Amino acid sequence: MNLPHSTPHRFAHALDVLRARARRPWPWRADLLGSHGSISWLVVILWLLALLLAALTWGDWMALQQREADVELLEERFQALATRQERALQAERYLSPLQRDQVEEFAKQQASPQLLLDRIGAAWTPQIALLRLDVDTLAGQANLDIEARTLEEEFAFAERLRRYGHAEATLQQDAQRTDDPDRAIGARLRVSSP
């Protein structure tokens, strides 16, 4: 191809080339209506994908809104708890020593013996007979009168209390019962929380 050397001829030639290219169809153009004028499957698939994407986006948006509401609720609860704790600390600072002692005694009276009884139950076996149980919640201890066939079973029960029940067990007295034909050995244990 022979190009003219003058500038106006160059522009005219470039315009002619662009016009010729514009008249030719682009290779990437899609016939969205198809050659027969009906809707192409590609358009249907694109619309379905757009609807699916919109539904997924809406679901994610709603989940995000729910999480934000949950976070706000937790923040409110945390703030209320922090306020209550701050008030309790301020009230504690202003208690007199007599009032503090009264509060401690009241807390001890409200203590449940359940933990101590659970510890005794964890160490229990059928070889040990319980004759009497006295629980002192203020002192956090229990007095047990038990009976077993041998002294070793009583010692094993006391050891299980120490190991599994995480409780202090002290054997206070033991004696063999003379009125029992099986010659069972009775003992008194004091069990306390460490």
CA distances from residue 33 to 43, 49, 94 in whole angstroms, order as listed: 9, 18, 84
pLDDT in tens, the chain (194 residues): 455 555 667 777 877 877 777 676 655 555 555 555 556 778 888 999 999 999 999 999 999 999 999 999 999 999 999 999 988 888 777 777 887 787 777 776 666 677 777 778 888 888 888 888 888 877 778 888 888 888 888 888 888 888 876 677 777 777 776 676 677 788 888 888 76
